[in-house]
Structure 1
Amino acid sequence: MRYDLTDLKLFLRVAETGSITAGAEQTHLALASASARIRGMEDTLGVPLLVRGRRGVEPTAAGRTLLHHARAITQQMERMRADLGEYATGLKGHIRLLCNTSALTEYLPDALADFMAKHPQVNIDLEERLSREIVQALRNDLADIGIISDAVDNSGLETALLRKDRLVLVMAPGHPLARRVGRRTSVAFGDVVDEEFIGLAGDSALQQHIGEHATRLGARLRYRVRVRSFDAVCRMVAVGNGIAVVPESAAQRSRDASAVKVLGLSDSWANRQQLLATRSYAALPGYAKELVDTLRTGDWKAA
């Protein structure tokens, strides 16, 4: 059985993206060549490595085993390249970072800008996912670093507390709900689930998370407007178009400009903590460890 590094890198990218076409693009191969390499790997092994469906491809049991070893081999190669980096020029590192909506919008841009300025040789693939999906990706060696909520089962992973990430309810001071709650400082999500909401556009992990809690209450959220950022959400809320659930940091940042009323959510799922998660910190390449350390220390906050 002989697989070269190109085969292994191709299979990794195909498994990560769920698409042979995307995997071929990321490894700079023609689609026909990538398909031939995958078939050659399957012929050599004698069993299918991928299940092909209408929505893409998924690894078989044999494919998941190959994926585990391919990830380990490529990580070892990355560590070797990092160790030799001081003796060579033009070497690049690659970090696959998965995070939830709050991390992506509230503090990661500043953190990554500072890190990448200091490490121009490192490329980062950043993708927004639900916390439970991030945990599964880390367990399957499909990501290097994850930022997750402490509400999900993270057994088998190494985690460290990153920061608090409380979710709150925002509304215009003149909104009927604001008048109903009076001087109360918090409210249960079930008491507001029938209101009209402002939400984030696209496939936001936070909106999926909130929607799942509404479903558990037997409700479906009604979104009057969807916008692209928490700042825009708060601006829409401020003029009375609806209410919204946002990270407390976003509400505090927008409160003076948008004049919104902030209420705590009494539900336990709203009082979250952000965790920095890896499968094994010790197994990460040096530059990936540096990113973890940068995120944990928060040195970028003062930049």
Structure 2
Amino acid sequence: MTLPPGTPDLEVIDLLVSVAELGSLGAAARRHGISQPAAGMRIKALERRLRLRLLDRGPTGSTLTDAGYTVVELARPVLAAARGLVDGIAALHDSARPTLRVMASKTIADHRIPHWLTALRKLRPDLAVELDVANSRQVTAAVRDREAELGFIEGPRAPEGLGSRVLVADELVVVVAPTHPWASRRRAVTSRELAATPLLWREKGSGTRDTVWEALEIHGAPARPAAEFGSAAAILATARGGVAPAVVSRLIVAHELRAGTLREVPLADSIALTRKFRAIWHRRTPPSGAAEDLVELAARIEAVRTNRR
């Protein structure tokens, strides 16, 4: 099928519809990003092509003629179909766009993932990344169930049955409010004291909780939590109130320590309050393509950051 002779250009038809909707040629010109004289010239060319007078031009402005209104009504479904065509083509492009599904623990998502994804975007500008945030146990389950191609978790050890790579070690510190008794004590706190003290804990499944629990349970089950929270931000806010000590990543508390709103409590013995940041994946589908690039970039960025300390 070929278009009949005299078929008008859709862009000038759209301009005419804008005149009808906005009530003036000047307003229509502004909507389309052109000057009013240019808009007038395009409408005149359309009139010549259609052999119809579409506008009544007067000293106070231009209004549509009866023929102009008829052309506008005939054009509306044509323009709607054209927009549907353009939207459909855009959807085809979106569906063909490569996508990487990633899940990350909350600390990593808040403090490390943005740096890694910025580097990945420079390497793969056309890549779309779908990022979900959960605790480490939930991330592990999602990777195991293939709901995510790649996961980033924190914790003392690698999850069973999955492939993994350690990216960096993250230091945990004990912090209290300046008004808490531990903030001014002269003697360092022992790990046994820490285990016997009700602390502010993350929820079960958190990599921070698993790391601290494993480090303290050599003295028996740690004391019942003073409170449990689903985010590090809630723990810091509660710790600032002097409710109880907290064990958190130095990454997330560094600003508080510099500002003096929280104080770090030294430990008397060599308790291992460190955890690992890991990339994890399903063993049957090790990282390749964009996923492999992201793991390599993350490892490289963390190595540089560690060397700068």
TM-score bucket of the superposed structures, by smaller chain: 0.5 to 0.7
Query: What is the distance in 2 between the residues matched to 1:267 and 1:100?
Result: 27
> Which whole-Å deviations, capped at 9, do the CAs of 1:195-231 have from their partners, x for residues lacking one?
564556x8872575379668961632012x958544x
The equivalences for 1:44-59 within 5 A come to none
Q: Which has the larger radius of gyration?
A: 2
- Offset, 1:170: 0.2
Q: CA RMSD in A?
A: 4.0
* Other-structure match for 2:249: 247
1:219 matched to 2:223: yes
> Which whole-Å deviations, capped at 9, do the CAs of 1:3-44 have from their partners, x for residues lacking one?
xxxxxxxxxxxxxxxxxxxxxxxxxxxxxxxxxxxxxxxxxx
Query: What is the distance in 1 between the residues matched to 2:163 and 2:115?
Result: 24
Query: What is the distance in 2 between the residues matched to 1:153 and 1:285?
Result: 20
Q: 1:153 to 1:123 in 2, by over 3 A?
A: closer
* Other-structure match for 1:287: 290
Q: 1:283 to 1:239 in 2, by over 3 A?
A: closer
Q: Please give the secondary structure, in 2, of the residue aligned with 1:115.
A: helix
Letter in 2 for 1:187: T
| Aligned partner (choices 117, 136, 140) of residue 112 of structure 1 | 117
Q: 1:299 to 1:165 in 2, by over 3 A?
A: closer
The equivalences for 1:156-235 within 5 A come to 156-180=161-185, 182-184=186-188, 187-188=190-191, 190-193=192-195, 195=197, 197-198=199-200, 205-206=206-207, 209=210, 217=221, 219-223=223-227, 229-230=232-233, 233-234=235-236
What is the TM-score of this pair, normalised by structure 1?
A: 0.53
The equivalences for 1:31-70 within 5 A come to none
Q: 1:281 to 1:289 in 2, by over 3 A?
A: farther
Q: 1:160 to 1:105 in 2, by over 3 A?
A: same
The equivalences for 1:122-137 within 5 A come to 122-131=128-137, 134-137=139-142
Query: What is the distance in 2 between the residues matched to 1:178 and 1:299?
Result: 31
- Offset, 1:257: 1.6
The equivalences for 1:237-276 within 5 A come to 237-263=239-265, 270-276=273-279
Q: Please give the secondary structure, in 1, of the residue aligned with 2:99.
A: strand
What is the TM-score of this pair, normalised by structure 2?
A: 0.52
Q: Please give the secondary structure, in 2, of the residue aligned with 1:298.
A: helix
Letter in 1 for 2:294: L
User: Is 2:240–2:262's contact at 8 Å kept on the other side of the alignment?
Assistant: yes
User: Is 1:147–1:275's contact at 8 Å kept on the other side of the alignment?
Assistant: yes
User: Is 2:162–2:281's contact at 8 Å kept on the other side of the alignment?
Assistant: yes
Query: What is the distance in 2 between the residues matched to 1:174 and 1:283?
Result: 49
Percent identity between the two aligned chains: 17
- Offset, 1:165: 1.1
